[in-house]
Structure 1
């Protein structure tokens, strides 16, 4: 409960007035807190790490800026900041207050959706595989033949679609990042079986930084051989499908494909709190056991 202060002339310097919807609000000035005191050491540590995670989110958003135009989402920065803060807290090398995203478990970003309104694993149900070859500097994304009208959750106006794959090499400490993009042409959105699709994304050979492989699908409406975006890309979906943490020079190998058929995939999605978790597709439980015997009808 607020404390009543008589508005004498000597008390006016202690009161500040703030304009609100219900009029002016008078608030008594608080005593200045000495945040350098030993009692607030934990608060100072959390502030440093929160600011570091927010800065990393801003730098990472800049690295992915070329893709964000096609996958607009106002909650992207907030969700990314929350995920990077969780990764920063997973750092077991540094002391509290000095932890970094670079030393954390960056694989937690696997399944992060660029557009929360259109999650990739729900929009595109076609199976795919991802192979990362650090030695030769290439990431390969392969889609077997599939029927677009059956495997893609497209808006009604869409007539064609395009698959996009990107590779981002990022060092969070030095803020050095490089990216490469590969995409298909506009493919018809019909019930015919497509040919197998293979996207090769080149990057620097013998790369040691963190590698993020993202896969996306873009829907367009074609009129008179001219493509048009649908509702500003609201239905476009993209996610970080694979993450390869940084390695040493002696650890450079070819990583095997890590994607499973759709029936066995784990669907990663973010809940309202921004925490990533995995859940298996729902299966109707099978009830086993003896059936109850039918009661004989009574003769009337």
Structure 2
């Protein structure tokens, strides 16, 4: 893959090259290549590829389910490549399945803890934006998930972008049924707080989950910025500065 440069920018095919434009990288060119699909389906040499294909499909489906479960938060706090990055992370989860045969490995029998720390916005990471300490407590028996941020000074421990006057913390937990392609999600959010506040504040975000639930639980925490202009609040919702990350995974019922 090469980047096109110059006055004349092409689109389409010319000889063995394809010219195209992407939203992320602009005008690009690449050489035609790859293996014929019929060879992959029939030749013995591609048996391993055929085995791994279904697993990659499961990874893509799992990533799509997770993004849908947290859509209310992901739509304002993700980068343009979050789908492919999340699919690759689920490939790691599936490859950690040590009980199923190759080609039949799956998310549930894999290692869900590999999702821990996943950042939905690579350009606005939670650990670089929310510098305050926080804890996550998951209690399936009580049907509760609690995110607690002890007292901190926003002016010192919130890395706010230029122009942001306020922030709020957002959180969600989802019980994910990967086999049935279903989910149950709950969202909580804090009050709007000044980014320049020099008085300590504490934030507690309680979330409810089904008592006795058996599906894996994934918890995300994020921060969203806004701006007050002439008395009105405007969200900085282009996704460039908001952060969202997986902060807890509980796969054991």
Q: TM-score per shorter chain, which class?
A: 0.7 to 0.9
Equivalent residue number for residue 215 of structure 1: 221
CA RMSD of aligned residues (A): 2.3
CA distance in 2 between counterparts of 1:195 and 1:98 reads: 49
Question: Take 1:23 and 1:40, find their aligned partners in 2: how far apart are those partners?
Answer: 25
Instruction: Flag the structure with larger Rg.
Output: 1
Structure 1 position 159, deviation (Å): 0.7
Q: 1:31 to 1:211 in 2, by over 3 A?
A: closer
1:85 Cα deviation from its structure 2 partner = 0.6
Aligned residue runs from structure 1 range 186-225, under 5 A: 186-225=192-231
Gaps of 5+ in 2: 1-11, 19-31
Q: 2:89 aligns with which of 79, 83, 89?
A: 83
The question of 1:20 aligning with 2:13 is answered yes
Whether contact under 8 Å (1:145, 1:193) holds in the other structure is no
Equivalenced residue count is 226
Quickly say closer, same or farther: Cα 1:201–1:43, change in 2 above 3 A. Answer: same
**Corresponding residue for residue 161 of structure 1:** 167
**1:157, 1:230 within 8 Å by CA — same for their partners in 2?**
no
CA contact (8 A) 1:71 1:238 kept: yes
Counterpart selection for 1:92 from 91, 94, 98: 98
Return 5+ residue gaps in structure 1 as ranges.
1-18, 248-300
Residue of structure 1 in register with 2:6 after alignment: none
Q: 1:227 aligns with which of 223, 233, 241?
A: 233
Q: Which of 120, 123, 130 is 1:117 aligned to?
A: 123
Question: Which residues in structure 2 correspond to 1:233-272 (within 5 Å)?
Answer: 233-247=239-253
Matches within 5 A, 1:51-200: 51-200=57-206
Higher strand content, 1 or 2: 2
